[in-house]
A and B are shown apart, each in its own frame.
Chain A
């Protein structure tokens, strides 16, 4: 069964550093997403990406964040100048046909980001 993959599984970084989280969405999916979950809290939407551009973003997704699809398979989230409060699990997700009214999203295993 096709699945979303993410690397690395765990990233430790120093405050102020830049990190890039990587995702390979399900191959025939058209929409890609990043969500985050701070420990003990609920899953929060960050951004959605379609047709090589951001289609939607939340208030959390400020200038510190950017997304890119550098090739036909990878989808990346870059976090610049990381802060302690960026420590969280970051999930990538993808969903299928643009025409589908039921937006079923499938999640990758996540990258645990720890900012020290």
Chain B
């Protein structure tokens, strides 16, 4: 049973492109949602939390659709430095603090 599912990619896009990643989660009781970024053989770095109303941080916009159990991340004006794996992460229960990770979507931004 896949708890957090993502398209593995890779997404190959030119610099300046807009790219969107999607993620679905299976537990409807899930409470908190995040996007992390992971570079090769490095630690996950928190990119942004995803709030019910949607939120934006510079070139990055995250959306949450609780009814469809779906999370998205939009990256505008892609930079070479955006090349990484983007991890969809869910905290499934208010009584638990364990994070459940998706397998990640790889992005390669090309010059």
Contact with A along B41-56 (1 / 0, CB 8 A): 1111110010000000
Number of interface residues of A (CB under 8 A): 26
Q: List residues of chain B with CB within 8 A of the CB of A56.
A: 96-98
Interface segment, one of B18-26, B57-65, B69-77, B100-108: B100-108
A105 close to B99 (CB less than 8 A):
yes
Secondary structure of the A contact surface, majority rule: strand
Known contacts A107-B44, A109-B42, A33 near B102 by CB under 8 Å:
no
A42 with B49, Cβ < 8 A, contacts A56-B97, A95-B97 known? no
Within the complex, which residue of A45, A89, A108, A110 is in contact with B99, where a contact is CB–CB below 8 Å?
Answer: A45
CA distance A112 to B34 in the complex (A): 25
Chain A residue contacts of B99, Cβ below 8 A: 33, 35, 43, 45, 103, 105
Q: A81 in the interface, Cβ–Cβ < 8 Å?
A: no
Could you give, for residues 88-99 of chain B, a 1 whenever the CB lies within 8 Å of some chain A CB and a 0 otherwise? Answer: 000100101111
Chain B residues proximal to chain A, CB less than 8 Å: 31-32, 34, 41-46, 49, 87, 91, 94, 96-104
Q: List 19 A-B contacts (CB under 8 A).
A: A33-B97, A33-B98, A35-B99, A41-B103, A43-B87, A44-B101, A45-B99, A48-B97, A48-B98, A55-B97, A56-B97, A58-B98, A89-B41, A91-B43, A105-B97, A106-B46, A109-B42, A110-B42, A110-B43
